[in-house]
Amino acid sequence: MVLSDFEKHRIDTEFALSQVAQYYNALEDQIHRLKDEKLEQVRKLVEEGRLPNGFEQSFIEGFEITIARNFRYSYIVLLCLVAENRLEAICDYVQKQKALPLRARDLAGDSFAKCTKYLKQMAQVPLTQITYWAEADDLLKIRNCIVHTEGRIQKSRDSGRLRDLCKQKKGITRSGEEPNEVLVIGPQYCIAVTDHMIETFSRINIEIGYADNPQKDLQ
């Protein structure tokens, strides 16, 4: 069976996102193993009287807002990188199929903005009607905060939206008080946003595939 260009593209996208999801599962396992190992060391030091009683809870809280946070920061950055690469791949597919003179990367703006504009205008993909598309925009804001301000909300250009997300989204919280609070990402958010990105790209590919094959039921 010979796959069409669209089917190859769709499979590549699904594979890339599934690999990211698998990486996240491995990452959480590593976080839990490291936490258990360090906690055992802390408990021994408490028993020996070298650390105060009750220090275990302080360690757990500190671990979550420092070491675990940084591990999950790295995952968010990776997820965004893969998502942007796959968006560019979708735009390249559209450019090739329609023989358009411009590619998405020829437009002005960051990668996400370029691809958004290209898919809306060149491929007529109704992005705002796609479930979880807004999640992609929020994910980008979180990534930018991590990359450009090391998670410091006050210094982010999207500080208002990030504070709203901390109130509204499970797995997104703040450590510290204004103006020095830092973004903390938990497993609930990582799992949810990964699922949402997989669904988002599935819907985009359905729109693209349906436009190429209007007589084929891609639902």
Tens-level pLDDT at each residue, the chain (219 residues): 566 888 888 899 999 999 999 999 999 999 999 999 999 999 999 998 988 988 998 999 889 888 999 999 999 999 999 999 999 999 999 998 888 888 998 888 888 999 999 998 888 888 888 989 999 999 999 999 999 999 999 999 999 999 999 999 999 999 888 888 999 999 999 999 999 999 999 999 888 875 444 444 333
Task: Give the torsion through C-alpha atoms of 54, 57, 60, 64, to 10 deg.
Answer: -140
Question: 96 near 166, Cβ under 8 Å?
Answer: no
Query: How far apart are the C-alpha atoms of 22 and 24, rounded to whole Å?
Result: 5
Taking a C-beta distance cutoff of 8 angstroms, is the pair 184, 69 a contact? yes
Domain parsing of the chain, residue ranges: 5-212
Q: For residue 43, what are the CA distances in angstroms to 29, 48, 49, 50, 187?
A: 21, 9, 10, 10, 25
Q: What is the pTM of this model?
A: 0.88
